Amino acid sequence: MDPLSEVLSLLKLQTYMAAGFDGGGAWSIRFGRHDGVKCYALVSGQCWLVVEGVADPVRVETGDCFLLPRGLPFRLATDLDLTPVDALALIDSAPNGGTRIWNGGGEVFGVGGHFAFAGSYGRVLLGELPPIVHIREESDKAELRWALERMRQELREPRPGAALVAQQLATMMLVLALRLHVTEGLPVQAGWLRALADPQMKAAISAMHDNPAYDWTLQELAERSGMSRSIFALKFKATVGTSPIDYLTRWRMLLAGERLTNSDDAVSVVARTFGYESESAFSKAFRRVMGCSPGQHRSGPRRGDRANHERAGHGDRAAGQPMYMGAAIE
């Protein structure tokens, strides 16, 4: 499995909502803070996107897709001079559960979803993305077109199973948008997402993901990347934001945290699974990366309970501080 798929699988995407909006005339809608990531695309029409803390409004055209990974309040509008209406008021009064209709609809139609990540691992991904990921190149929009059209049909003409189909299509949109963001070399801060856009760095990261328990050396990883040891070390640090060995340690600890949460394996067994003969050395590394001991991590809320807790408060809490693959959790 490729690194992007592995990380998304580890994060276990959960969909809060998959829905559409259909606007007519002039309107301006304000959305509050959110946990996780929101992903939208316009099937038809145009509007403005304004995100709190981002200086300039973004013009969103037909076929464009955008991700909002930081949980910041934002506004969608056809007229920026209008006083915005709170989105919750419109949602509560919406006549159609699948598509929210504003001003009679008929001019701007969008589809999208709101996604959560079970547990704290989502910050690995969200912390490396800019406030807005805007997919707007024609070649990129072509990749998204089938999912958009299919989702519009499911929302406008719901049939048995439509809600589940819409959720899966929304997830497909999110993954495609992330893949396009990586492969098109769009701005990404230092971290594993940026590394995936670099073939040499991707080779090293793929090797570590394929066999995280192996005792990788800097020389072996450099050879996988086709570089000298010294140049590889410098480039990896500049691209990912940490050393290769620190990256490997943090990836191991994320996998170990998943194992501790979802199995009854002894800590010593988990330690050996990820390349540690000494339980004390493993526990020390785990605490440094995850901010708690393996036992404390295991005794915390199980994944389902944690996800439900986050779901209950997703509309009111600010997004947490980002956790980077290239930096310890604060």
In this structure, the answer to whether residues 15 and 161 fall within a common structural domain is: yes
Evaluate whether residue 140 is within a structural domain.
Answer: yes
In this structure, the answer to whether residues 172 and 96 fall within a common structural domain is: yes
Evaluate whether residue 318 is within a structural domain.
Answer: no
> pLDDT tens for residues 153-184?
887 777 888 878 887 888 888 888 888 777 76
Q: Containing domain of residue 199, as a range?
A: 192-312
The domain boundary residue, chosen from 142, 163, 183: 183
Long-range contacts of 183-191 (CB under 8 A, 24+ apart): 184/137, 184/140, 186/133, 187/130, 188/128, 188/129, 188/130, 189/128, 189/130, 189/241, 190/238, 190/239, 190/240, 190/241, 190/326, 191/127, 191/128, 191/240, 191/241, 191/324, 191/325, 191/326
pLDDT, tens digit only, all 330 positions of the chain: 777 787 777 766 666 677 888 999 999 999 999 888 888 999 999 999 999 999 999 999 999 999 898 889 999 999 999 999 998 877 654 444 478 888 888 999 998 888 877 655 666 666 667 888 888 888 888 888 888 888 878 877 778 888 788 878 888 888 888 887 777 655 555 567 777 778 899 899 999 999 999 999 999 999 999 999 999 999 999 888 889 999 999 889 989 998 998 899 999 999 999 999 999 999 999 999 888 999 999 887 544 444 433 333 333 333 333 323 332 222
In this structure, the answer to whether residues 19 and 152 fall within a common structural domain is: yes
In this structure, the answer to whether residues 148 and 246 fall within a common structural domain is: no
In this structure, the answer to whether residues 19 and 158 fall within a common structural domain is: yes
Evaluate whether residue 321 is within a structural domain.
Answer: no
Is the model's pTM score more than 0.75? no
Q: The CATH number of the domain where 259 resides is what? A: 1.10.10.60
Evaluate whether residue 136 is within a structural domain.
Answer: yes
Query: What three-state secondary structure class fits 179?
Result: helix
Q: The CATH number of the domain where 27 resides is what? A: 2.60.120.10
Query: What three-state secondary structure class fits 195?
Result: helix
